[in-house]
Structure 1
Amino acid sequence: MRIVLDLQGAQSASRLRGIGRYSLSLAQALVRNNAGHDIIIALSALFPETIQPIRRAFDNLLPAGNIVVWDAPGPVAAIDPSNAERRDLAELVREAFLASLNPDIVHVTSLFEGYIDDAVTSIARHGAGCPVSVTLYDLIPLLNADRFLDPDPRYAEYYRQKIGYLKKASLLLAISRSAASEAVDHLGRDEAQVIPVGTGSDGHFRKTELRPVERDAVLASMGLYHPFFLYVSAPAVHKNHKRLIEAFARLPAAVRDTHQLAFIGDFSIFGRQDFETHAARSGLRPGRLVLLDSVSDSDLNTLYNLSQGFIMPSWHEGFGLPAV
């Protein structure tokens, strides 16, 4: 069987989140455990800086010729209405390229991409072709439309188009039974077409011991000079960062003033100023809230080990990988 993996989930803005980690790890696991299938990884040339790192991630796992790259005119991000024609063309180009690989099945590692960046995903724009499977992470915007869709008509249009594509998928691989139930209950999918495959922690994350000098150097480089609580998450509404800031600000002064609250996520896109302003309004002194953009796996493992506690106040998750 020829299996084509659309690995844009490890190229887009999601590459800095759990989706990117999961997409890459899934692809590597499929290659490692391959039982005679022909696996091809398809990458987008619209993310040129990601191509070589992904190729390196498959060194000694997959022949170089099995990693292919397609291209289309950009930019195509859906957030900008002037990109609509290019995005439409790019969807057709991508599907035609994937079809040219003569796949028995195409797996899309992340369908809900391309709103703020140049990811391109669609299903069956050329009509019925080979089966397409999709990793299903959650249906959070659909189930919380008052927070995600109603206030932003442009995003709502984009998201509902993706839902239309999702309904055309032959198979959904859900990251949890919760996510699978959402597809059955709210998309009307047959249970036989939604398979809970689960997820798990990468073996890189484990208990480690650091010498005091190494520990202090890592923490100082990140502005962490006190015992700290940790939250690792993209700054989306359902992740509930602001309520966590308010809760931390209401701790007894003896605790609050001797600890820090550290957030790790890609704050460059959404703007860290919003969180910093909220912290100040909640009564936190400067330096108590520390916002760290995505860090290396090594440093992230160190922070997990050194934190006083990990806090996860999200009110809706497909799985909740950081807790694991």
Structure 2
Amino acid sequence: MKAESAIKNLKAESTELEQSSFGLSALSFPLRIGFDGKRAANNLTGLGNYSRSLIMTLSGQFPDNQYFVYSSKVKSAKQIDSFFEKDNITLKLPKDGAFLWRTLNILKDLGRDQVQVFHGLSHEIPFAIQHTKIKSIVTIHDLIFLRFPEYYQFIDRKLYEWKSKSACKRADKIIAISEKTKADIVEFYGTDPDKIEVIYQSCDDSFKNALPQQSLKRIKLTYNLPDKYILNVGTIEKRKNLKVIIQALKNVDEEYKLVVIGKQTSYFKEVEKEMEKLGLSNRVIFLKNIPFADLPGIYQMASLFVYPSFYEGFGIPVIEALYSGTPVIAATGSCLEEAGGPYSIYISPTDVSSLSYQINHVLSNPSLQKEMKEKGLEFVQKFNSPNVTQQLMDCYKNVLS
């Protein structure tokens, strides 16, 4: 009953929102842009890093605009605190209580703040935003929960599907982070392809600069990193397919160890069993809770980055590796070729022998490593922040025109 009442009140107020808060013409400058800040204000990895990086680069490249980040709560952490220290980035917390705020009552705050365009950074936008003059954009990262439903709990899958499908229907524009994700939106939701714009992601700028030797030495000592190692970064879950790297490692030169960085899930037990069966427990190093500032150095010291995920929306770790000057081997079957480009190597995610062969081939061939590093770094410039940021700003202006 409480939810129904909130919906009725919101619909009753939609006319008032339209008439009161939007005396600005749609294309007045500077722009006032709102963002769903749930991840930016609370998550220290993944979509949190993506959200903060996107907003930060916008605020730096287009400093005259105002950027409002809406979240029902905020986590105290160095990287989040420093994010909100920017003069043109403002944290907005609920004025009228947190109940249903992100889905309904947030529209009151958007109206008060005279927001012209709202960007849902992760699969959802406020309910009934289409009944206001606020233009809306939603970013869809992937539809893996539909492509591989076995990886998700039933209730989670249905909730993700409802939110994302509804957002795609109601938003003025959809941003897909890869051509593969765009194709999935068209296939699963029947969305008009013309409503979808592909804007690739960049990664944090810290990956784009070589760290000084002193910093690398400190990082190596801090985490007791071996002289030669293969790197894998990502949640340790079945879809990420770490077990195939373990199986391939058996036939890789013993002087190379495997360093794995990522949150452990129940799948970790399968990985442990495989390591024990193959006698590889002493060749695999698991790192957890790595400070974000140290991550670029761990990439830069790796001999090779391996990412055999069954399915991704884009694959940020791949471009982090390329920017770090680290050769990449990734999997076919989703969008990783879009992220890794033509000078990375791709294998079937189930082909252990092919993965072993390609790892050995790269590690034993210095000239190939050099080419993969140089050509990979050249390719990945297409994802540079200024390019992506300009595309985003053009998207905002287009929906307002």
TM-score between both structures, scaled by the size of structure 1: 0.76
The alpha-carbon deviation at position 216 of structure 1 amounts to 5.0
Confirm or deny that 1:132 pairs with 2:127.
no
Which residue among 37, 40, 48 is the counterpart of 2:75? Answer: 48
CA distance in 1, matches of 2:246, 2:306: 11
Residue 116 (structure 2) pairs with residue 104 (structure 1): yes
Deviation sequence 1:246-288 (CA, Å, 0-9, x none): 222x315xx23x3221111233xx2585255234344234332
Q: d(CA) in 1 for partners of 2:222 and 2:303? A: 18
Partner of 1:305 in structure 2?
300
Helix, strand or coil: the match of 1:287?
helix
Matched residues, number: 286
**Alignment partners' CA distance in 2, 1:39 and 1:220:** 40
What's 2:163 paired with? 162
Match of 1:198 in 2: 200
Give the Cα–Cα distance (whole angstroms) in 2 for the partners of residues 284 and 28 of structure 1.
Answer: 46
Looking at structure 2, the residues matched to 286 and 223 of structure 1 have their Cα atoms a distance apart, in angstroms, of: 16
1:282–1:244 distance in 2 versus 1, CA, 3 Å: farther
Question: Is the 1:95–1:126 contact (alpha carbons within 8 Å) kept by the matching residues of 2?
Answer: yes
| Separation in 1, partners of 2:130, 2:151 | 30
* Structure 1 pair 309–135 and aligned structure 2 pair: CA distance change class (3 A): same
Deviation at 1:183, TM superposition (A): 1.8
Structure with greater Cα Rg: 2
1:172-205 C-alpha deviation (Å, 9 max, x unpaired)? 1222222222222322222232111112243321
Deviations 1:22-66 (A, max 9, x none): 211111122223375443222331x4325x743422534416xx3
Matched, 1:16 2:42: no
The aligned counterpart of 2:154 is 153
Q: Among 70, 90, 101, which residue is 2:94 paired with? A: 70
Q: Which amino acid aligns with 1:140?
A: I
Q: In the alignment, is the contact (CA less than 8 A) between 2:72 and 2:102 conserved in 1?
A: no
Q: Which runs of 5+ in 2 are unaligned?
A: 1-30, 320-401
Determine the C-alpha separation between the residues in 1 that align with 2:266 and 2:228: 25
1:319 aligns with 2:314: yes
How far, CA to CA, are the matches of 2:191 and 2:286 in structure 1? 40
The one-letter code sitting in structure 2 at the alignment partner of 1:288 is: R
- TM-score normalised over the length of structure 2: 0.62
Following superposition, the deviation at residue 103 of structure 1 comes to: 2.2
> Structure 1 pair 30/235, CA: closer, same or farther in 2 (3 Å)?
same
- Paired residues of 2:55 and 2:67 also in contact (CA < 8 A): no
String of CA shifts for 1:91-132, please: whole Å, max 9, x gaps: 434454444434222111123xxxxxxxxx553257733332
Other-structure match for 1:259: 256
